[in-house]
């Protein structure tokens, strides 16, 4: 059986090492140390992604990775990148074959283009590499789905691309899904929440998300991000200069049926401006290029832009998407060997993967609002290894200024966000490369004693293991309700379970410890409610039987299911708090098939094995018992709780919901004697302890979250002061 420590380690790092344990001495010395470590890590993982910025040597890393895979490997690459990769393989003394179909495949390393996907049998390959894997976002959904589906059983998978935008959920989800780590729906349900601004990381999900990401994908913008020397990897200066083309505003306004220019109006307005200013922009750029004797890379957005420019620029090579693959390779080759001084193409055609660092002059013949295309195009020349200052000209009409402002604004946001993310994620990335145990990341323990009470900070299962057997007389608590990253980011938090099965496995360790520390024949009272299911996390909208789940787990742990109590709840208050459409008035008129009753609370009572040696004599009257013995408690005030305000964290996604003091009082007075020890393994802000001390019992509380632990101590001290003051009166 898996030990609890092993379980937490597996839960902390969901993608365990399942690949090849290749020593650094076996990695080609041609690679830089950081490249060697990343390659060895990727081999160890078997299924992983290397998100490394342009010029950091993704090609060398993926080739060295492929060389170690036992069996045939197929590398998919965009456009002419395949030929460039074959050339770079010589530096590793590695022969790779360019293949067009299955008959061409050799036992070693093979490379092809994404367009030829249908020509291969995925089952014949041990490993597959997606070079410039961010293309998963750009290819049509059909091709992306084919890649995911056809290689889902391939044991070794590697994705290589530049550092993705930190908020690009689609790109990260595509990679996770291709690698078989997690589906997009699972990723969103686990780490994200949807609000008015769209999807965002849960407040307590941030560290957990980057820890999860680092277990299969490492982001690197520069070697120092993961603890290596920066020497040799410094980006050259870049000079981005807009060149404004005069436009007859009156003539343009008349062409749009307006008296004057009122700005760009959506895609249609942008396209109209681009077409109307085409020849002016072509003439302006042609003069700049023809006055230079250096190489130039020109990005256009319309076919006609490229065609007109190629007519008036000497020694130019025009590359269009309609050209055959062979023609594309030949034209790019002319630019690379210098026989073609100017390459004119689109970012969608040659903006992924190509290394054009032999050229340091670039121009955009117009601009779209896509920051990603702009970024990818810039990085074909502005990359590690470039020796010259990169000069970028952006040819625009004055009317198009908002487009440039939009792209540059996105660039600033991207740079700031990426730096924050890299800084945040680098700790986890370094731990992955060093094979460090992260199961205790952020985990703290502590112990505080008072008159008749003890509070323990830490994991309730680990801390219960420290307690003597049969040392607790009664336990009452409310466990986590399958609520991912709502209150903490710790993997030791049972609420942070990515599936019901993982929660049950985690909770079962607690049941076993409760069975050990609770005295024979004594009781455990567990507060719970049914849990709503969600489309993202569960695949349907409805209710999950959390109550039944707890009953099953306690019975599996040897407890006897002793009884339960229903605690009445106000459905209108639930509707206001949760906004669930199942309780809203408007659903009466819209579609009553979604309506359901409000959810009650339950107190489940379990009896430990063995005979009780000390009879319990409740200090209650027969009249109290008549009320308390009723299967439904109608008279519990929902607001009868301790103050939660001082414990609320800004990162908490939900309000703290402590158990009502009236419920705790009844349980303690019914099933324990004065002076006996009451346990809460999820002490929270100390509600159970507050009531236990108030009723003359001792209390042992365990709390994982330091903020709640501190508030619980204050509440326990407060109740003793209140009792002392009452005695003085």
Alpha-carbon span 504 to 492, nearest angstrom: 13
Q: Based on the domain organization, do 679 and 578 belong to the same domain?
A: yes
Q: Based on the domain organization, do 486 and 466 belong to the same domain?
A: yes
Q: Based on the domain organization, do 302 and 171 belong to the same domain?
A: no
pLDDT band for position 273 (50/70/90)?
Answer: confident
Task: Provide φ and ψ at 55, rounded to 5°.
Answer: 95, 0
Residue 517 in any domain: the answer is: yes
Please state which of the ranges 183-187, 305-309, 664-668 shows the lowest mean pLDDT: 183-187
- Looking at the 3D structure of the chain, how many domains does it have? 3
pLDDT band for position 166 (50/70/90)?
Answer: low
| CATH number of the domain where residue 714 is located | 3.40.50.150
Tell me what the pLDDT averaged over the chain comes to. 89
- Strand 156-161 relative to strand 453-457: parallel, antiparallel, unpaired? unpaired
Q: Based on the domain organization, do 401 and 481 belong to the same domain?
A: no
Q: Based on the domain organization, do 298 and 393 belong to the same domain?
A: yes
Residue 430 in any domain: the answer is: no
pLDDT band for position 152 (50/70/90)?
Answer: very high
The Cβ-side half-sphere exposure at 272, using a 13 Å CA radius, reads 16
| CATH number of the domain where residue 257 is located | 3.40.50.300
The tokens of 578 are what?
A: 């949760």
pLDDT band for position 536 (50/70/90)?
Answer: confident
Average pLDDT over residues 242-247: 88
The answer to whether 395 and 363 are in contact (CB under 8 A) is: yes
The model carries a pTM of 0.83
Residue 188 in any domain: the answer is: no
Give the domain-ending residue among 160, 193, 226: 226
Q: What is the 3-state secondary structure (H, E, C) of 614-657?
A: CCCCCCCCHHHHHHHCCCEECCCCCCCCCCCHHHCCCCCCCCCC
Residue 202 in any domain: the answer is: no
Q: Based on the domain organization, do 386 and 465 belong to the same domain?
A: no
Burial class for 229, CB neighbours closer than 10 Å (0-12, 13-18, 19+): exposed
Q: Is 344 helix (H, G, I), strand (E, B) or coil?
A: strand
Q: Based on the domain organization, do 552 and 660 belong to the same domain?
A: yes
413 pLDDT above the threshold of 90: no
Q: Based on the domain organization, do 637 and 707 belong to the same domain?
A: yes
Closest CA to 442 of 457, 464, 432, 456: 457
pLDDT of residue 431: 87
Please state which of the ranges 16-20, 466-470, 672-676 shows the lowest mean pLDDT: 16-20
Please state which of the ranges 15-19, 34-38, 444-448 shows the lowest mean pLDDT: 15-19
Q: Based on the domain organization, do 222 and 249 belong to the same domain?
A: no
Residue 197 in any domain: the answer is: no
Alpha-carbon span 400 to 216, nearest angstrom: 41
293 pLDDT above the threshold of 60: yes
Give the domain-ending residue among 374, 400, 415: 415
Residue 429 in any domain: the answer is: no
The tokens of 272 are what?
A: 């109209």
pLDDT of residue 260: 39
Residue 231 in any domain: the answer is: no
Range among 102-111, 214-223, 249-258, 416-425 with highest mean pLDDT value = 102-111
H/E segment holding residue 294 = none
Please state which of the ranges 53-67, 232-246, 252-266, 525-539 shows the lowest mean pLDDT: 252-266
338 pLDDT above the threshold of 70: yes
Q: Based on the domain organization, do 395 and 488 belong to the same domain?
A: no
Residues 6+ apart with CB under 8 A from 456: 445, 446, 447, 463, 700, 701, 702, 703
Q: Based on the domain organization, do 308 and 396 belong to the same domain?
A: yes
Sheet architecture: strand order including 296-300: 238-245, 390-397, 361-365, 296-300, 342-346, 316-318
Q: Is 181 helix (H, G, I), strand (E, B) or coil?
A: coil
pLDDT of residue 1: 72
Residue 89 in any domain: the answer is: yes
140 pLDDT above the threshold of 80: no
Alpha-carbon span 93 to 687, nearest angstrom: 68
pLDDT of residue 258: 46
H/E segment holding residue 596 = none
The answer to whether 606 and 526 are in contact (CB under 8 A) is: yes
pLDDT digits (tens, 9 = 90+) for 584-622: 888 888 888 888 888 999 999 999 999 999 999 998 999
pLDDT digits (tens, 9 = 90+) for 129-138: 999 888 777 6
The answer to whether 434 and 283 are in contact (CB under 8 A) is: no
262 pLDDT above the threshold of 50: no
In terms of residue numbers, what domain contains 462?
446-728
The tokens of 717 are what?
A: 């001290």
Secondary structure tally for the chain: helices H, strands E: 27, 26
pLDDT of residue 263: 53
What percent of the chain has pLDDT above 90? Answer: 60
Q: Based on the domain organization, do 222 and 245 belong to the same domain?
A: no
pLDDT of residue 594: 85
pLDDT digits (tens, 9 = 90+) for 504-525: 999 999 999 999 999 999 999 9
């Amino acid at each position: 059986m898996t030990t609890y420590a092993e379980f937490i380690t597996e839960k902390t790092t969901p993608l365990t090492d399942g690949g090849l344990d290749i020593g650094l001495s076996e990695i080609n010395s041609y690679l830089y140390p950081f490249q060697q470590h990343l390659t060895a890590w990727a081999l160890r993982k078997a299924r992983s992604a290397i998100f490394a910025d342009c010029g950091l040597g993704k090609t060398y890393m993926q080739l060295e990775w492929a060389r170690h895979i036992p069996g045939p490997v197929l590398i998919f690459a965009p456009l002419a990148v395949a030929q460039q990769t074959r050339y770079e393989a010589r530096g590793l003394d590695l022969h790779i074959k360019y293949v067009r179909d299955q008959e061409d495949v050799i036992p070693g390393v093979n490379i092809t283009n994404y367009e030829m996907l249908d020509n291969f049998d995925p089952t014949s390959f041990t490993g597959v590499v997606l070079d410039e894997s961010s293309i998963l976002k750009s290819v049509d959904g059909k091709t992306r789905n084919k890649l995911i589906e056809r290689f889902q059983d391939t044991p070794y998978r590697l994705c290589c691309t530049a550092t993705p935008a930190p908020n690009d959920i689609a790109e990260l989800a595509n990679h996770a899904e291709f690698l078989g780590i997690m589906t997009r729906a699972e990723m969103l349900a686990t780490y994200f929440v949807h609000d008015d601004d769209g999807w965002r990381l849960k407040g307590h999900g941030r560290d957990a998300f980057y820890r999860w990401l680092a277990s299969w994908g490492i982001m690197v913008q520069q070697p120092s991000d993961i603890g290596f020397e920066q020497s040799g990897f410094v980006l050259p200066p870049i000079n981005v200069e807009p060149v404004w083309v005069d436009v007859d505003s009156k003539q343009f306004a008349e062409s749009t049926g307006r008296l004057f220019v009122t700005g760009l109006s959506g895609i249609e307005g942008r396209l109209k401006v681009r077409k109307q200013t085409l020849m002016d922009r072509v003439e302006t750029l042609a003069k700049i290029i023809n006055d230079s004797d250096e190489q130039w890379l020109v990005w256009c957005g319309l076919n006609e832009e490229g065609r007109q420019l190629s007519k008036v620029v000497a020694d130019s090579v025009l590359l269009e998407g309609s050209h055959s693959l062979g023609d594309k390779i030949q034209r790019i080759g002319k630019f690379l060997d210098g026989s073609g001084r100017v390459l004119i193409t689109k970012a969608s055609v040659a903006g992924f993967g190509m290394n054009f660092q032999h050229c340091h002059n670039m121009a955009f013949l117009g601009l779209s609002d896509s920051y990603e295309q702009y970024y990818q195009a810039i990085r074909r020349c502005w990359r590690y290894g470039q020796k010259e200052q990169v000069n970028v000209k952006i040819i625009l009409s004055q009317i198009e200024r908002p487009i440039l402002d939009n792209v540059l604004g996105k660039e600033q946001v991207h740079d700031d966000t990426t730096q924050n993310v890299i800084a945040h994620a680098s700790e986890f990335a370094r731990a992955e490369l060093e094979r460090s145990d992260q199961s205790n990341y952020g985990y703290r323990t502590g112990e505080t004693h008072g008159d008749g009470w003890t509070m323990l900070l830490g994991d309730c299962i680990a801390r219960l293991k420290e307690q003597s057997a049969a040392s607790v007389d009664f336990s009452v608590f409310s466990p986590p309700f399958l609520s991912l990253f709502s209150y903490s980011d710790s993997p030791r938090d049972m609420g942070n379970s990515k599936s019901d099965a993982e929660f049950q496995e985690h909770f079962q360790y607690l049941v076993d410890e409760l069975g050990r520390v609770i005295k024979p024949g004594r009781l455990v009272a567990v507060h719970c409610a049914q849990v709503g299911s969600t489309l993202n996390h569960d695949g349907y909208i409805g209710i999950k039987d959390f109550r039944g789940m707890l009953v099953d787990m306690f019975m599996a742990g040897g407890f006897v299911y002793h009884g339960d109590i229903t605690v009445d709840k106000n459905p209108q208050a639930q509707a206001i708090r949760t906004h669930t459409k199942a309780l809203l008035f408007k659903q009466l008129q819209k579609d009553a098939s979604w309506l359901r009753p409000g959810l009650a609370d339950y107190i489940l009572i379990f009896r430990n094995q063995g005979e009780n040696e000390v009879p319990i004599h409740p200090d209650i009257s027969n009249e109290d018992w008549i009320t308390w013995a009723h299967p439904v408690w109608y008279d519990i005030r929902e607001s009868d709780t301790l103050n939660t305000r001082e414990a609320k964290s800004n990162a908490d996604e939900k309000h703290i919901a402590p158990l009502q003091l009236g419920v705790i009082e009844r349980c303690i007075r019914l099933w324990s004697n004065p002076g006996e020890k009451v346990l809460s393994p999820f002490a929270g802000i100390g509600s159970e302890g507050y009531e236990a001390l108030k009723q003359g019992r001792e209390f042992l509380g365990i709390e994982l979250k330091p903020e709640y632990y501190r508030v619980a101590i204050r509440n326990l001290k407060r109740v003793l002061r209140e009792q002392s003051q009452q005695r003085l009166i």
